[in-house]
């Protein structure tokens, strides 16, 4: 088990390889579909951020520079004293953010993306170019993972709704596996290729080609 503490430097990230198990502690920011769209439209595509968003930009940069973005739509409990607690914090399917993740990694200097299911070629290229990794979290263990969210510090754009807001959180001993690294390695691509090869073999034994099957 490799212990990672946020902020994470590029040297540490580039020492990680597909298959490494990590325990992550420190600041992170949740971001799903609405948040990624907002980050790209407001801070990547726009020539200058809207004045109303400048404070949010500072908060986002503070969390993501050498930091962690977590594809997560939590369930939260709000206490009478104003404290917010995650009661469910499972990972969201990451491929939904494939069209935007590369830009977010580059713009904000993200070092780790947490999610489930892996991502595609554009994200893998960005991981390699900028020095970042994709961490696969345990699917189906949302309440267990919530225990590793030690603290909720706030939410950016709560008006997006609870699942889509960008929650500023502190992780403690959050366990995940490196499945895409900064050297071009992707366990997800290896599985896809192996599955395609197996399918071709099965179809060949039946006298069919993959094209015939379609």
Query: How do residues 26-59 score in pLDDT, each as one tens digit?
Result: 999 999 999 999 999 999 998 787 788 999 999 9
Calpha distance 63→65 (Å, rounded): 6
Give the CA angle between residues 94, 96, 102 to the nearest 5°: 75
Tell me the pTM: 0.86
**Confidence class for position 192, pLDDT limits 50, 70, 90:** low
Q: What are 48-95's pLDDT values in tens digits?
A: 877 889 999 999 999 999 999 999 999 999 998 889 999 999 999 999
Separation between Cα atoms, residue 194 and residue 205, nearest integer Å: 17
Name the catalytic one among 36, 71, 136, 188.
36
- Taking only the tens place, the pLDDT of each residue in 155-168 is 999 999 999 999 99
Instruction: Give me the architecture of the 2-183 domain, per CATH.
Output: Alpha-Beta Barrel (3.20)
Closest CA relative to residue 72, chosen from 6, 143, 178, 17: 143
The span from the CA of 172 to the CA of 116, in Å, is: 19
Instruction: Indicate the pLDDT class of residue 188, thresholds 50, 70 and 90.
Output: confident
Q: Where are the alpha helices (DSSP H) in the chain?
A: 10-14, 33-40, 54-64, 98-108, 121-130, 142-146, 187-205, 210-213
Q: In the annotation, is 130 catalytic? A: no
């Amino acid at each position: 088990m490799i212990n990672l503490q946020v902020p994470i430097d590029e040297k540490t990230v580039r020492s990680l390889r597909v298959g490494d198990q990590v325990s992550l502690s420190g600041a992170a920011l949740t971001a799903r579909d609405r948040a990624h769209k907002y980050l790209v439209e407001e801070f990547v595509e726009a020539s200058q951020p809207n004045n109303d968003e400048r404070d949010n930009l500072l908060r986002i940069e503070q969390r993501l520079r050498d930091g962690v973005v977590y594809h997560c739509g939590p369930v939260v409990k709000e206490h009478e004293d104003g404290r917010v607690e995650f009661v469910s914090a499972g990972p969201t399917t990451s491929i939904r953010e494939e069209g935007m993740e590369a830009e977010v990694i580059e713009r904000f200097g993200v070092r780790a993306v947490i999610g489930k299911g892996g991502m595609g070629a554009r994200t893998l290229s960005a991981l390699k170019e900028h020095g970042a990794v994709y961490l696969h979290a345990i699917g189906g263990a949302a309440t267990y993972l919530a225990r590793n969210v030690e603290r909720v510090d706030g939410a950016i754009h709560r008006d997006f709704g609870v699942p889509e807001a960008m929650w500023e959180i502190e992780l403690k001993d959050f366990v995940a596996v490196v499945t895409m690294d900064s050297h071009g390695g992707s366990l997800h691509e290896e599985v896809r290729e192996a599955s395609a090869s197996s399918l071709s073999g099965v179809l060949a034994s039946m006298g069919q080609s993959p094209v015939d099957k379609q």
